[in-house]
A = this chain, B = another copy of it.
Amino acid sequence: MSDEPCCDVAHLGHVEIFTNKPEESLDFFVNVYGLTESGREGDSVYLRAFDDYEYHTLKLTASDTTGVGHIGYRCSSKAALERRVAVIEEMGCGKGWIDGDLGHGRAYQFTDPDGHLFELYYDTREYTAPADEQPALKNIAQRYHGRGVCVRRIDHLNLLARDVSAIREFMTKALGSRVTELIQLDNGRLGGCWFTVNNKSYDIAYTEDHANAQGRFHHVTYAVDQREDVLRAADIFLENGVFIETGPHKHAIQGTFFLYVYEPAGNRVEVANAGARLILRPDWKPVIWTEKERKKGQAWGLQTIASFHTHGTPQVGAD
């Protein structure tokens, strides 16, 4: 691998999640979480946060199951997209080109070793604010509407996988992602791995799935501007009967301030704030956490709740 950071992939574009309670999930995402609907087609509703520039960052699809449908990353340019496609095809993970959807143009599909479906694209559809959503200041995509948690933008997602080491090999090669932090288990396996394609500390993380399943989903996260927004979100979730799984607290890993809830269909959703922390260093070396260090709990000592290690979607067994 080159010693030069790869810039072919610009940012996490969107996440498609399945819901078997489409009306309740939509109400959660729009009225409680604070996303805005751009449009809908077939079984899917296209949603985004107020400062997401694309037509959508969340594709909410009605289904008889839950979990993740696919993950889309936007490339830096047409040429960058072609470069990535060539690499992925050579890796043997590619599925081929598809036409886009309401949200973006043609995209190249591929799967990770655990069976999660990804796509890369460059041609996207921009969000154009209608008159009643025009921002007072022109440098944000939509007005700060203040509805619900009013998250600012999509931040990252976390997927469950049976072999995180295999994921590490795959992700760094296929997307050219950098590993920012990881959990090294005593048994030699990776308990978790955090990746970034840009200066955000991570846009995707994988954690080891202990269930006998594959392709499962841990959570999707949108970012708010201040930690106080996360605290405020807790009260909004509480008053709206949303199940708060854990938080607010600060992660030891990455230091982000988090709050995890379950949306009505059971998919885990997070609200987070990373402060001013960015990975600007080009030769960043992954931070390695040992099992012993993980036992200390989160940054200020909160023990990670058991369900955080077991609950994923689709649910498996008593999870």
Contacts and interface: CB of A to CB of B under 8 A. Distances in A.
Interface of A: 3-5, 7, 10-11, 51, 53, 74-80, 135-140, 143-146, 148, 152-153, 155, 181, 198-200, 223-229, 231-232, 234-239, 241, 244-250, 252-255, 257, 273-278, 280-282, 287, 289, 293, 299-302
A278 B200 contact: yes
A131 B213 CA distance: 42
Given A4-B80, A200-B278, 18 more contacts: A3-B77, A3-B78, A3-B79, A4-B76, A11-B282, A136-B241, A138-B289, A138-B293, A140-B255, A146-B232, A153-B276, A225-B227, A225-B275, A226-B227, A228-B229, A235-B299, A246-B301, A302-B302
B247 A300 contact: yes
A155 B278 CA distance: 11
Given A3-B77, A140-B255, A300 B248 contact: yes
Q: Counting chain B CB atoms within 10 Å of each CB, which of A5, A239, A249, A280 scores highest?
A: A280
A276 B239 contact: no
A22 to B, nearest CB: 23
A274 B223 CA distance: 13
A301 B137 CA distance: 12
A231 to B, nearest CB: 6
A192 to B, nearest CB: 14
A276 B276 contact: no
B249 A248 contact: yes
Nearest to A31: B146
6 contacts: A3-B78, A11-B280, A137-B255, A139-B181, A139-B255, A249-B249
Contacts of A143: 239
B248 A76 contact: no
